[in-house]
Amino acid sequence: MDKLPAFFPFTQVVGQDDMKRALLLNIVDPGIGGVLIKGEKGTAKSTTVRSLNWILPYRKAVKGCPFHCQFGREDRYCPYCSERLAKGEKLEPEDVRMRVIDLPLSATEDRVSGTLDLEHVLKTGEKKFEPGVLAAANGNILYVDEVNLLDDHLVDLLLDSAAMGTNYVEREGVSFSHPARFVLIGTMNPEEGDLRPQLLDRFGLSVDIKGERDVKMRAEVVKKRVEYDLDPEAYIAKCSKDLEAMTAKIEKAIELHPKVKAGDDVIDMVVSVMVHFGVDGHRADITLMKAAKANAALEGRTEVTKDDIRQTAELVLSHRLKRKPFEEKALDREELEECLANL
């Protein structure tokens, strides 16, 4: 098993099944659009996101590329890889493991997007780019804790880059772009303020979590954390087989995902759910379709069923529902069941 910092093991996180499912779905299909996790303090939001480091799969990247371009996808190569190809150089692959990249709240726009050395350009005529956080995030997970406290223009920058899969930097008429395909995960405490509605809708999935109220489950949380804190390395070693099995499950789902099919009946179900709950636009419909297909792949199936919609609909809808002032933003599961029963 890889030598990593002492992250708590993902497989040992107690409860919070919706949060864990939302994270796994985005690993299987990054095109879902990321996850926004909202919850009170002390509900394992950050712990769970960082624990993904133990189960993230490997991928093939171009060896020596500062952006870790996806090997074999020439249409997604950075300018450096494209230039090497044009010169007749044979690019080699290397296996790199996906990882969680943290974005500090204090980060500036230059730190996030990277900077162009204009003086170097003027002197030599060659572009010199200093990679930023978005370069490191390519092919990985970009994690923003307290995303609601991040400057709006930075949130816009992250969401735009995630949607386009490219980071574009321009300074004084000189431009540079590189691949920036990543899964954006944000966590926040609603007591500290909310995101603008326009930004909320840009997150593919959203989860509202609360602390455990069941005495046995709550006790289990305490026991596991105390044992882990006593000897993290021993605790992680004890969980190694479970972690490796979870990684293998994710890798199998990623391989299976392109083969997953959804019939017209499933598409009709997805659209009917959105119409029933009065969701505007078509982004939610497409996101639910993607989430249902990723869920089927996780379950080892190549056909989307009503159960896949049932398990993912709340993740897609919870932050998109229209609510009256002071009304709780939560999906009525009984209403969802009634809606699906009639389809």
pLDDT tens-place string over residues 189-206: 888 888 877 778 788 999
Q: Is 21 assigned a catalytic role?
A: no
User: According to the model, what pLDDT value does residue 2 have?
Assistant: 56
- Kindly report the pTM of this predicted structure: 0.89
pLDDT tens-place string over residues 145-160: 988 888 888 888 888 8
Nearest residue to 203 (alpha-carbon basis) of 332, 50, 32? 32
Looking at 84, 99, 225, 283, which residue is catalytic?
283
Q: Using the Cα atoms of residue 172, residue 173, residue 179 and residue 183 in order, give the sign of their dihedral.
A: positive
Count of CB atoms situated within 10 Å of the CB of 292? 28
**Running DSSP on this structure, what letter comes out for residue 4?**
-
Nearest residue to 64 (alpha-carbon basis) of 84, 44, 48, 49? 84
Residue 328 confidence class, pLDDT cut points 50, 70, 90: low
